[in-house]
Amino acid sequence: MSVRGIRGAHTVDSNDPKLIASATLEMINDIIAYNHIAPEDICSVLITVTNDLDEAFPAQAIRQVPGWELVPLMCALEVPVKGSLERCVRLMVLVNTELSQAEIQHVYLGGAKALRPDLANSK
C-alpha cells in the first residue's frame, strides 16, 4: 500500500457559502467514488480557496459527511497569482491505496477543468 495524492478543483459562480459547500462536497464525493476509497483510507485533506472566496470554510462542509469526523482537514489560501483562475476551491487528498499513480482519478470540475485539461476527463 502506498500514500497517493488525489487532486480536485472546482469553481463556483459567486462567493456564496452554499455554493462553496456544494462544490466541495461534489469534488470529495467524486474522488471517493472514482478511486474507491473510504474515509479511513484518507491520511489528510488540504483544501485551498482563492482569496475571493471568504464566506465559508470548505472543511466545514466535509466534516458534516458521516465518517469524516476524524479525517484531518486544513483550509488555506491559494497563492494569489495575477490572472489565475478565480473563485476556485482545490483539494489535495492524501490516501493509503493500492492504486498506482497512473490509476488515480483526479477530479476537475466546472471552470477548473482549464487547470489540467489532461486530467479533467480522466474519470
**Three-state SS across 16-43?**
CHHHHHHHHHHHHHHHHHHHCCCHHHEE
Copy the grid coordinates of residue 11: 469553481
Residues 52 and 11: their CA atoms lie apart, in Å, by 11
pLDDT of residue 72: 96
Give yes or no: 7 in active site. yes
- Choose the catalytic residue: 40, 55, 63, 69: 63
pLDDT of residue 42: 95
Give yes or no: 116 in active site. yes
Domains of the chain, start order: 2-120 (3.30.1330.40)
Give yes or no: 87 in active site. no
Classify residue 41 by its DSSP letter.
Answer: G
Q: How confident is the chain (123 residues) per 10-residue block, as mean pLDDT?
A: 95 98 96 94 97 96 92 95 95 96 95 83 53
**Count of other CB atoms within 10 angstroms of residue 8:** 24
- Choose the catalytic residue: 75, 86, 98, 103: 75
Instruction: Find cell 489565475 and name the residue.
Output: 84
Give yes or no: 103 in active site. no
Give yes or no: 108 in active site. yes
pLDDT of residue 112: 93
Length of the chain: 123
Instruction: Find cell 488515480 and name the residue.
Output: 104
Which of 78, 81, 88, 84 is CA-nearest to residue 109? 88
pLDDT of residue 15: 98
Residues 94 and 50: their CA atoms lie apart, in Å, by 21
What is the pTM for the complete model shown?
0.92
Residues 36 and 57: their CA atoms lie apart, in Å, by 26
